[in-house]
Structure 1
Amino acid sequence: MQRSAVGQAPAIRHHSNRWTQASFAIVLREKRFSPAKLAALIEVASQAGLEASVVLAGTDLDINSIADPFTLTSPLQFLSAARNALREYKKSDLGVQVGRQMHASSYGMYGYALLCADTMASVFDTAVKYFELANGMLDLCWETREGVASWLFPQQGELLLPEVDEQLYHFLVDLQFAVHVTVTKDVMGTWCVPAHAAFTQAEPPHAAVLAEVLECPLAFGQSRNTLSYPAAWLSRAPQLANPITAAQVSTECARLLETLRWQAGVSRRVYQELIRTPGQFPAIEQIAESLCMTSRTLRRKLEAEGMSYSELLTSVRKALAIDYLTTTTLSTEDIALTLDFSDAVSFRHAFKRWTGKTPTEVRQNRLTLVGGREDDR
């Protein structure tokens, strides 16, 4: 992506989130990441007197598996552990304390790619390009505007993560701020501290801890969560910059990313089969054959991932229904037919069960268009 010169229209680089709410729920369950982030959470919690077993309750993990570098964990396991820790942790600074424990070396090949990038701008671009390797909870986006290079973090309502209340959201934001600052200093040097940090939340009790870790002026009650650096620094070289090694490591990161996508859990592969031809939903036997296994084996694999064929089919139909209602003028009857319902009544009942709303309530603005119909009600 091309960059804009200072003073021109901002150039935004972001990790494009291609997932719907339904498919993202599948991705969250996939065990693809090292236990490094969970280990940092356990370390901070232990220092506060919390037992690891309390933090890891309901995650199917224990302290021995967290200590095993070959354990693979899922984003959902980290979120579950974070919720447990937040219930017991007596202060408000858990996110920033965990984030300051995370270094470039915590991220394997991804961290190495950041360390040997040839410029600070390349570091930022690499962070975005291979974001799926990092087990990040918040989507990545950065821009240059009026001499400032800023990371932008999503609002609470923009998250696809399930059941994120205000406390967990602020934990994730604090965590991301602290990780960004800590890793950037690992890469560029201790001199490279932000120019400014802005938070949407009101000033928290741990504002002094945030100021200590971020080492820059803080502003609270702002419209966006942003972390900013002088854009003039983007051309500076990291401490360990090496263009040849950077190219080699980038190639390896691309290979790892492709491998992760290829080895995605069976739930995601079934989901992809179901959305391949909308309206023509293959039976589980057909999908099993395309995946070179029996339907019995496929059911067993789905069950091991906490999913079933019927749940996935419902997720696909729900996602498509919402898309059709909000982006087209198809009638309820047409949508019902497209989603393989016997009639519009069955579709309306199913949609109400899925979302708690009627198709009309979701399509309020669409009813004023030429294609809107009374029978959508």
Structure 2
Amino acid sequence: MTMYCGRWYERDERFIAAHHQPALLLDLLLARDISSHKILRGSGLFYEDILTGSHYLSPAQLQQLITNGRKLLPQEDLSFRWGDSLWPGHYGVFSQLLANAPDLERALQALVDYRRFLSPLLVPRIYQDERYCYVQWLDACGLQDERRFMVETAMTGLTAMSRWLAQETLPWRYGFSYAQPAQDEQYQVYLGPDLHFSVGVDVMMIEKHWLQKAWPRGSATAYQVALREAQLLIGEDVAMNGFNEAVYHYLTQQLRAPQSLPEVAQAFAMSPATFKRKLHKHHCHFQQLQDQARLHVCLYLFHINGWTNEQVAHYLNFNDTTNFRRAFKRWSGLTPSDSKQRFLFAAG
């Protein structure tokens, strides 16, 4: 039994500075002449709390603001407009890190290393193969119906930030786990034309030679100073993983020997009943996370490692490729061959 040795944050943990990203979202809604009472309804917040500059809210409270905003402006491009101004932002040393990043590689590293502060609801993971860098976006602690909203926000945020810092539009390509929306004009406006839906994962990709191209606005010295300040500020005991993210990471590492819920609960030092309650609190089910982990590992092995169906099936301990293909279709809605074709098209 491998124990999970990391730490995690939960939906009801208050650590998100109300005057940072939540205030930016609030201002976008106030600019539409919507009262602060309607925007903050059900969140446990008052406008005066945000003005103090010392109030913190939980991921659940921020998610409630998003839900309210989406209902108040159902036809508007709120997610994209929020994302367009999300980073570098005015979030102290973490924004200084992003604003002074000398290149895309170090900007991405800052987003990953300090995701608790810069992207607490939907978090980035970075992969590379011989040609591409991939930025995968993961649900940290139970977004449910707001996942698509946050995918739009995060992808727009990284697109806009990299464009501003590089002083040119970078050739990002975008893959979405969900089907193409009936109205996708805002995707074209904020992200561009290279959009690929129903690929099983929310991911941005860019050719690797862009990673180390120097950014005109960057400063390697200022970046190092900000990095040192950030490391001193948070120490080593601050959890960077959301609960769902922590369970997901653990499951991806155990896929060759799939574990039951009681076994994973034991790895997280909980009883099965407590672990189930924790999953319910974070709006997910054990099987859902396990299937997602399996799907994403399959996509990694197919599209980054270039493995065949037989190799992936063997790696995941399936008895035969037929059973593997059925399982993959259940996880993704696609056959392995369809998935490969979509990714080949997306990767050009």
TM over 0.5: same fold? Answer: yes
CA–CA distance in structure 2, aligned partners of residues 34 and 239 of structure 1: 31
Change (3 A) 1:119 1:327: same
Aligned residue for 1:193?
170
Contact persistence 1:196–1:229 (CA under 8 A): yes
Could you tell me which amino acid in structure 2 is paired with residue 176 of structure 1? A
**Match status 1:93 vs 2:77:** yes
Could you tell me which amino acid in structure 1 is paired with residue 159 of structure 2? V
Q: Determine which structure has greater relative contact order: mean sequence separation of CA pairs < 8 Å that are 6+ residues apart, divided by chain length.
A: 2
Contact persistence 2:159–2:172 (CA under 8 A): no
What secondary structure does 2:123 align onto?
A: coil
Deviation at 1:104, TM superposition (A): 0.8
Q: Deviations over 1:242-266 (max 9, x none)?
A: 222222111001112228839x9xx
**Match status 1:171 vs 2:149:** yes
**Match status 1:129 vs 2:68:** no
CA–CA distance in structure 2, aligned partners of residues 200 and 123 of structure 1: 24
What secondary structure does 1:77 align onto?
A: helix
Deviation at 1:92, TM superposition (A): 6.1
Identity value in percent: 14
CA–CA distance in structure 2, aligned partners of residues 217 and 130 of structure 1: 28
Change (3 A) 1:17 1:146: farther
CA RMSD of superposed structures (Å): 3.7
Change (3 A) 1:124 1:103: closer
How many equivalent residue pairs? 260
1:236 to 210, 213, 217: 213
Unaligned runs of 5+ in 1: 1-15, 265-320, 329-337, 340-346, 364-377
CA–CA distance in structure 2, aligned partners of residues 82 and 28 of structure 1: 16
Aligned residue for 2:338?
none
CA–CA distance in structure 1, aligned partners of residues 126 and 112 of structure 2: 9
Superposed, which structure 2 residues align to 1:79-228 within 5 Å? Answer: 79-91=63-75, 93-154=77-138, 159-162=139-142, 164-165=143-144, 167-189=145-167, 191-228=168-205
CA–CA distance in structure 1, aligned partners of residues 35 and 237 of structure 2: 33
Deviation at 1:17, TM superposition (A): 11
Contact persistence 1:75–1:135 (CA under 8 A): no
Unaligned runs of 5+ in 2: 241-259, 281-285, 288-348
CA–CA distance in structure 2, aligned partners of residues 17 and 48 of structure 1: 46
Larger radius of gyration: 1
What secondary structure does 1:53 align onto?
A: helix
CA–CA distance in structure 2, aligned partners of residues 246 and 356 of structure 1: 38
Aligned residue for 2:46?
62
Could you tell me which amino acid in structure 1 is paired with residue 82 of structure 2? V
Change (3 A) 1:355 1:192: closer
Deviation at 1:168, TM superposition (A): 1.0
Could you tell me which amino acid in structure 1 is paired with residue 162 of structure 2? T
Q: Deviations over 1:195-218 (max 9, x none)?
A: 311112222244111211123421
Superposed, which structure 2 residues align to 1:1-377 within 5 Å? Answer: 18-19=6-7, 24-25=9-10, 28-91=12-75, 93-154=77-138, 159-162=139-142, 164-165=143-144, 167-189=145-167, 191-258=168-235, 261=238, 322-324=261-263, 354=277
Contact persistence 2:178–2:200 (CA under 8 A): no
Change (3 A) 1:34 1:57: closer
Deviation at 1:323, TM superposition (A): 4.6
Deviation at 1:89, TM superposition (A): 2.3
What secondary structure does 1:212 align onto?
A: helix
Deviation at 1:34, TM superposition (A): 4.5
CA–CA distance in structure 2, aligned partners of residues 53 and 322 of structure 1: 42
CA–CA distance in structure 1, aligned partners of residues 209 and 5 of structure 2: 29
Could you tell me which amino acid in structure 2 is paired with residue 224 of structure 1? V
Change (3 A) 1:147 1:48: same
CA–CA distance in structure 1, aligned partners of residues 55 and 5 of structure 2: 26
Contact persistence 1:178–1:214 (CA under 8 A): yes
